Amino acid sequence: MESPTKSSFEKTILVISDIHLGAGEIVNGKRNLLEDFHYDKEFIEFLGYYSSGVYAKREVELIINGDFLDFLAVPFVNYFDDEFWSEEAALEKLKIILDAHKDVIDSLVKFISNEKKKIIYIVGNHDGEFLFESMRDYFIKLFPKSFRNNILFRFEKDGEYSPHPGIVIKHGHEYEIPNQIDPEGSIISTEEGRKYFLPPWGSYYVTRVINKFKEERTYINLVRPIKKLLISGIIYDTLFTLRFMLANIYYIFMVRFILYFKYSKSLKEIIENMKRELKVFQVSETIVEDFFEERKDVGILIMGHTHYPSITTFFDGATFINTGTWVKMNYLDFDKQSHNNDLTYAKINVKSIKKSGKVRSRNLKNLDINFNVWKGKSENPFKGF
C-alpha cells in the first residue's frame, strides 16, 4: 500500500464503476425515488485528493468503468414509448443529470484541468446513449477546450480497455445477453434523419418493470443476491413480492419466451436459451478463469456491473477485481453485509519502466495494486478492502 507521502511512482491509475448519477434527489418539487447516488460530496473529495499532494504533479488516469450516468433512471422527459430512446430525449436526459449533479461535473472539470490528468469513459449498459456522437460532444464541451483531448470515450464491442501492459478493464455487461449492446448497430436513423438508440431488452426491463416497482420499494434494485430478496420478500412483504414476481414472469414471457417459442425447435432448446438469458449480475469464476487461461499476457482484470465488490488473486498471480459501486447496496450474504456503504475503487501505481523492465506475461513487478474503500478526508483517507 502506498504512503500518502511516497512519490516513487510515475503514474497512478484509478478505476471506479457504477456511480449511477440520476436526475437528483428532488424533481419537480418531489422526492425522486429513482435516484440512487447520494455521495456527491465524497466523490468531489475523492477527485480533489487525487489532484493534490503527491498526485498534483503525477500522471493520474481516471477510468470510469461504465454506468457513471444512469439514463435509465431519468423518465422525466416528455418522450414516451419508442421516443424515449430518440437522440432528442437522450440529450434532455443528459442535461437533467448534469444539472442535478453540477458540483460533481465541476469537480471533473477541475480534475481534468491539468495536463497530467486523463479521463477514460467506458460506456456501460445504463449509459448506452453515449453511442450518439452528439451526446459525447455535448459532454466533452463541458470541459476546457485545451484539455478536451484528455477525455476519451471507449465503447469497443469486446468492451476492453488496457491502460497499461498486463491490465484489462471492461464493464462486464458484455457477458449478459439481456444487457449486450452492439456499438456498431445500436444507432439507427429514420428516413427523416432522426436517430434512435436500440437498447437491449434488459434496458426495457429496467424502465418498464424495475422503475415502476422502485416507486413503491426504493431498494428493489439495490439488493443482492436477488434470490434471497425474493425468498425474504415472500415471508415479510408477501403481496408486493408476489406482484413483483408475476410482473417479471409476464414481462419475460411476452418479450423473450414467445420469441424463443417461435424460433426454437424443442422445449429443451427453449429452456436452455432462457437459462442463458436470465443469468444476470453474476460474472462467474469460470468466466474469469477462462479469460486468464486465454490471455496469458493479462495479469489484472478489472470489471464492474454486478455491484459486488471483490478481489481475487489466483495461484499464478493473476488478479481479478470487481470495483463494486458507489450506490448504497443491501447485501444479504453474510460475508458482504459489512460492505453495504463501501465506496470502492481500484488504484494501480505504476513504477518507472526503466527501473523495472518491460512487462512480460504476468510479471507485474512494476505495478502496485490496491483495492480501496474511500472514507473521506483524513490523513490517510482510504483503507484496504
Question: What span, in angstroms and rounded, lies between the C-alpha atoms of 66 and 61?
Answer: 15
**pLDDT of res. 185:** 95
pLDDT 10s digits, 341-373? 999 999 999 997 554 445 455 768 899 999 999
| Angle (deg, nearest 10), helices 102-112 and 87-100 | 90
Contact 112, 64 (CB under 8 A): no
pTM metric for this prediction: 0.92
Dihedral of alpha carbons 374, 375, 376, 377, sign: negative
- Whether 338 is in a domain gets the answer yes
- Whether 266 is in a domain gets the answer no
**pLDDT of res. 254:** 83
- Whether 238 is in a domain gets the answer no
- Whether 241 is in a domain gets the answer no
The secondary structure of residue 287, as a DSSP letter, is: H
**pLDDT of res. 172:** 94
Question: What span, in angstroms and rounded, lies between the C-alpha atoms of 113 and 60?
Answer: 12
pLDDT < 70 stretches in the chain: 1-7, 257-265, 267, 269-283, 353-361, 363, 378-379
**pLDDT of res. 303:** 97
- Whether 273 is in a domain gets the answer no
- Whether 5 is in a domain gets the answer no
pLDDT 10s digits, 89-102? 999 999 999 999 99
Residue 349, Cα to own-chain centre: how many angstroms? 22
**pLDDT of res. 153:** 98
- Whether 370 is in a domain gets the answer yes
- Whether 237 is in a domain gets the answer no
Query: Which CATH number characterizes residue 169's domain?
Result: 3.60.21.10
**pLDDT of res. 356:** 46
Domain total of the chain: 1
Domain containing 82: what range?
11-225+281-384
